[in-house]
Amino acid sequence: MSPSCELCEAAALTRRFDEGPDYWIAECEACGVPLVVWRTHDPLPPPAVRVALWLRLARVANEELGVGAWRLDDRLRTIGDHYHAHARPRPRGGGWPPSV
C-alpha cells in the first residue's frame, strides 16, 4: 500500500458494487462508470489476476450498462501506478463495432 494513493485508501465515496480481499468495484468518482481496483499497489498484475478482475468487472458492467454496451479500458491515465480498469460505454450509432 502507498499512503498517498487514492486507490489504496479505498474510501467509499461512491456506490460500491462488489468487493473482496484482492479487489473492489465501485462507481468511478471522476467518470461515473464501474471501476475495478486491484488492492495491491502495483500497475501490472499477473495475467491470471488481470483476467479475474476483468471477469468481476464484466459481471457488474453487464448488469449496470447492459451486455455488449460497454468496453474494457485499463489504460492507466490519472493514477498510473495502481492497476484499475473502467467499463466504459460504447458509443451509440456511429461507433465501431456497431451496436447490436
**10 occurs within a structural domain:** yes
**97 occurs within a structural domain:** no
Q: Which residues contact 28 (CB under 8 A, 6 or more apart)?
A: 14, 34, 35, 86
- pLDDT at position 97 over 60: no
Q: What is the pLDDT of residue 99?
A: 47
- The per-residue pLDDT for range 79-96, each reduced to its tens digit, is 889 999 999 998 765 544
- Which domain does 61 fall in, by range? 6-89
- The per-residue pLDDT for range 13-54, each reduced to its tens digit, is 889 999 999 999 999 999 999 999 999 999 999 999 999 999
Quote the number of domains for the chain: 1
Sheet holding 70-73, edge to edge: 16-20, 23-27, 34-38, 84-89, 70-73
**35 occurs within a structural domain:** yes
Q: What is the pLDDT of residue 82?
A: 94
Instruction: Catalogue the E-assigned strands of the chain.
Output: 16-20, 23-27, 34-38, 70-73, 84-89
